[in-house]
Amino acid sequence: MNETSLQRKTLLLLLAAVTIAFVWILLPFYGAIFWAVALGILFAPLQRKLVFRFKGRRNLATFTTLGVCTLIAILPVILTTALLVQEVAMLYSDVQSGKINVASYVMQFENILPSHLKEWLDRFGLSSIDGLSDKIAKGALEGSQFFATQVFSFGQSTFELVVSFCIMLYLLYFFIRDGQAMVRMIRNAVPMAEQHKRLLQITLRRVVRASVKGNLAVAVTQGALGGLIFWLLGIHSALFWAVLMMFLSLLPAVGAGIVWAPVAVYFLITGMVWEGVVLALYGVFVIGMVDNVLRPLMVGKDTKMPDFLILISTLGGMAIFGLNGFVIGPLIAAMFLSSWGLFSGTRRKKMRLPADIAPRD
């Protein structure tokens, strides 16, 4: 082994060691770093337009972009989270104390069930009101407790939340201002063909834009519309159900209908026909149309992935990374497909890059 080869291997070993150590020390704040990068990608075009309008004053344009991002993307999340934490705690307390009487709802269902459905319940041991209500009550308690502890676990430490938020804003400023220079530096350092690097960069931008700007906007709209109709109909904990519909709207083949449809059926079979009809029509023609109209406009085919893969990667990402996983999961899946496409040689050497997402150096 000659001296040059030994020096190169030593350098690579040192590079791997310090990279692993660097990633390790960043792990406690990976969520803040990830969202700073994601929002930086999303708001970078606005900053470039403002730089032109402010005649090259990059710092002023970046501060203005950061203010817009805070007003339309960050503050609403903080306010909604604070209200939702309180509502989830109240819902859990009401179910636990018996203020929300699950047994009464079960009895209403049992009284209107036809005989053949009662026989079907007998086969599964669910014909007993006491047993069935206990199971439903237990499930409601476990569900509300899980939602409160898992979805909002980041709120358990106020100091950690504030520190992460400040880190995200601080990094976001530099990612918005110097993002293009950072991208060029990373691309120059990666030992790959330029064409392959551009493809992976485009994949990253597509998935982040589709997940954050598109899917999240659709989910928030559907959740807000669902919460509004629940509030107008006097349904308990409308904000909780609105946020639940928002999260379910992120998942293909699931959607907000899994929440409002059973409520509409409950209204109809318990004699609340007017409420049931209104909720069903509103769910189909208002909440459902948001997904059919708004999603193609804002998301389109940016992810380039089938719905089943988006569903599995989103669920897996959220199971591992929490709320951040609804973006990280599909991003990893898209990078996986792109990387294997490059490795197998199935992609053409000359790719036609859409003008709206072509990298700008």
For the segment 250-295, what is each residue's pLDDT rounded down to a tens digit? 776 677 888 898 889 888 877 788 989 999 999 988 988 887 777 6
pLDDT at position 226: 92
SS3 (DSSP) at 174: helix
Mean pLDDT of 239-254: 81
CA–CA distance, 89 with 148 (Å, rounded to integer)? 7
**Cβ neighbours for 170, distance < 8 A, ≥ 6 positions apart:** none
Mean pLDDT of 40-69: 90
pLDDT at position 154: 45
The single-letter DSSP state of residue 235 is -
The single-letter DSSP state of residue 284 is I
Q: Residue 271 is encoded by which pair of tokens?
A: 């004699």
Q: Which residue has the tokens 């009895």?
A: 107
CA–CA distance, 314 with 327 (Å, rounded to integer)? 7
CA–CA distance, 253 with 348 (Å, rounded to integer)? 32
Other beta carbons within 10 Å of 298: 17
Mean pLDDT of 321-330: 81
User: Higher model confidence: residue 83 or residue 182?
Assistant: 182
User: Higher model confidence: residue 335 or residue 303?
Assistant: 335
Lowest mean pLDDT among 50-59, 83-92, 139-148, 189-198: 139-148
CA–CA distance, 90 with 84 (Å, rounded to integer)? 10
Among residues 357, 36, 38, the alpha carbon closest in space to that of 199 is found at 357
pLDDT at position 281: 93
Structural contact between residues 240 and 285, judged by C-beta atoms closer than 8 angstroms: no
CA–CA distance, 307 with 175 (Å, rounded to integer)? 31
Give the burial class of 253: count Cβ atoms within 10 A of its Cβ; 0-12 exposed, 13-18 middle, 19 or more buried: exposed
Q: Residue 38 is encoded by which pair of tokens?
A: 């994601």
Among residues 74, 51, 73, 75, the alpha carbon closest in space to that of 62 is found at 51
pLDDT at position 105: 60
Residue 155 pLDDT level (bands cut at 50, 70, 90) = very low
Structural contact between residues 40 and 170, judged by C-beta atoms closer than 8 angstroms: no
Percentage of residues in the chain having pLDDT higher than 70:
72
Q: What is the pLDDT of residues 156-189, one digit of tens each?
A: 455 677 788 889 999 999 999 888 888 888 888 7
Among residues 359, 328, 341, the alpha carbon closest in space to that of 250 is found at 328
Q: What is the pLDDT of residues 2-53, one digit of tens each?
A: 667 787 888 888 888 998 998 899 888 888 898 898 898 889 889 989 998 9
Q: Residue 101 is encoded by which pair of tokens?
A: 């009487």
Among 62-66, 144-148, 200-204, the range of highest mean pLDDT: 62-66
124-159 as b/e, with b when 16 or more CB fall inside 10 Å? eebbeeeebbeebbeebeeebeebbeebbeeeeeee
User: How high does pLDDT run on average in the chain?
Assistant: 76
